[in-house]
Amino acid sequence: STTGVYGDRAGAWVGETAPVQPLTPRAQRRVSAERQLRAAAIARGATQTTLRIPGIYDTQARSPRARLLAGTPALVPADDVITNHIHADDLARSCIAALFRGKPQRTVNVSDDTQLPMGDYFDLAADALGLPRPPRITRTQAEQALSPMQMSFLRESRRLHNRRLKAELRVRLRWPTVHAAFDAAASLHAALPTDVSSGIHA
């Protein structure tokens, strides 16, 4: 599922027991799917674990490189929102852990230990990948420049608790923060010959 089911919390901390407050049709559909799956599992006496996922990234694949290459703007600090992330590798490991350690009808936030303003996240990624930082615009300007889908992510701000991920699923994150992942990416980028590193961005 998605952590978008929590809606906007104005940057406050959110755990799995918080009531859902979906703001978009996309998140509303996820809430409906969660409830249907939970009901089906209970009816069949099965174990079902709901994993709520924030922004997925991979320093060597499409996200966030594609957005940076497109020059998509980010919000100025005064208008920015807090975002949460999980590396694709850690997400895969969390899914496997849920198969073996998930408690019946339990919900788990699959998020790392980072809570960053979205613009700072893209600045960090750009610096690590050797790409230009995104331009910053106001929220009013963003309403005119960005798509409805892109704007939907700029209307929600929250910080995710991940205690269940660590205590119940016993996941040890390979990349506990986006800083750790992008620092490794920056080191790799610096070690590559110029022609190879340039080709990565092509």
Residue 150 Ramachandran class (φ > 0 left, ψ -120 to 50 alpha, else beta): alpha
Q: What is the mean pLDDT of residues 21-39?
A: 97
pLDDT single digits (tens) 48-103: 999 999 999 998 777 799 999 999 999 999 999 999 999 999 999 999 999 999 99
Between 9-23, 112-126, 179-193, the lowest mean confidence (pLDDT) is in 179-193
The count of structural domains within the chain is: 1
157 lies in which domain range?
A: 3-200
Is residue 27 within 8 Å of 7, Cβ to Cβ?
yes
Amino acid 197: pLDDT: 47
CATH number at 129 reads 3.40.50.720
pLDDT single digits (tens) 137-147: 999 999 999 99
